[in-house]
């Protein structure tokens, strides 16, 4: 997968998560849970978040580490630590807020969910700042390098 594809995929993961958060926020704006749709939307958001975490840790970070300097290695390490910690917090939230516990304490669920949303949004901002910035830089560098090679035509691999 090249840098442009990674960039597009990561941005799509972020879009799905932000959309999923929006759906749960709309549920929490109601006075009581809409259990069936809420359960589907929670699962969808969980799936989107897990897919993003896996993509970041298994595809993007290893690609960026290939020629990372010390500062970038440190930033990527910090990002992975934060990603792991946030995943553990999300898992605890999901385990705590079952169908029955949400029904019993809707306001409590929504309060806890707001904390998780803030955490997810913070992680997305961190990924945009570190990963997306790096992917854009590397993509631009690769395009400049291919354009400067004599005898190389656009879209042609030597």
At 86-134, the pLDDT tens digits run: 999 999 999 999 999 999 999 999 999 999 999 999 999 999 999 999 9
Residue 59 CA to residue 9 CA, distance in Å, equals 11
For the chain, the farthest-separated pair of C-alpha atoms sits apart, in whole angstroms, at 70
Give a yes or no: residue 120 inside a domain: yes
Contacts 24+ apart (CB under 8 A), 121-126: 121/18, 121/21, 123/82, 123/83, 123/86, 124/14, 124/17, 124/18, 126/79, 126/82
- Local confidence band at 140 (pLDDT 50, 70, 90 cut-offs): confident
CA atoms within 13 A on the CB side of 142: 11
pLDDT at 158 over 50: no
Asked whether residue 84 carries a pLDDT value surpassing 60, the answer given is yes
Is residue 122 assigned to a domain?
yes
Q: Which burial class, exposed, middle or buried, applies to 132 when counting CB atoms under 10 A from its CB (0-12, 13-18, 19+)? A: middle
Residues 37 and 44: their CA atoms lie apart, in Å, by 10
Q: What is the pLDDT, as a whole number, of residue 139?
A: 87
Q: Which regions of 33-149 does DSSP assign to beta strands (E)?
A: none
> Does any domain span residue 151?
no
Q: Is residue 49 part of a domain?
A: yes
Domain contains 150:
no
Domain membership flag for residue 144: no
The number of distinct structural domains making up the chain is 1
Examine residue 152 and state whether it is found in any structural domain, yes or no.
no
For 126, the domain range is 3-139
DSSP state of 78: H
- 27 found inside a domain: yes
- The pTM score is 0.87
- Per-residue pLDDT at 35 exceeds 80: no
């Amino acid at each position: 997968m090249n840098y442009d594809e990674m960039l597009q995929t990561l941005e799509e993961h972020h879009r799905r998560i932000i959309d999923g958060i929006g759906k749960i926020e709309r549920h929490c704006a109601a006075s009581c849970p809409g259990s069936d749709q809420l359960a589907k939307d929670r699962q969808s958001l969980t799936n989107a978040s897990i897919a993003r975490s896996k993509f970041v840790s298994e595809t993007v970070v290893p690609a960026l580490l290939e020629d990372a300097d010390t500062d970038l290695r440190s930033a990527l390490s910090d990002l992975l630590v934060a990603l792991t910690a946030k995943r553990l917090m999300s898992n605890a939230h999901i385990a705590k807020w079952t169908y029955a516990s949400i029904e019993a304490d809707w306001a409590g669920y929504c309060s806890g969910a707001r904390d998780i949303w803030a955490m997810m949004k913070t992680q997305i901002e961190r990924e945009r700042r570190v990963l997306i910035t790096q992917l854009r830089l590397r993509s631009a560098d690769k395009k400049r390098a291919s354009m400067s090679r004599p005898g190389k035509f656009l879209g042609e691999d030597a």
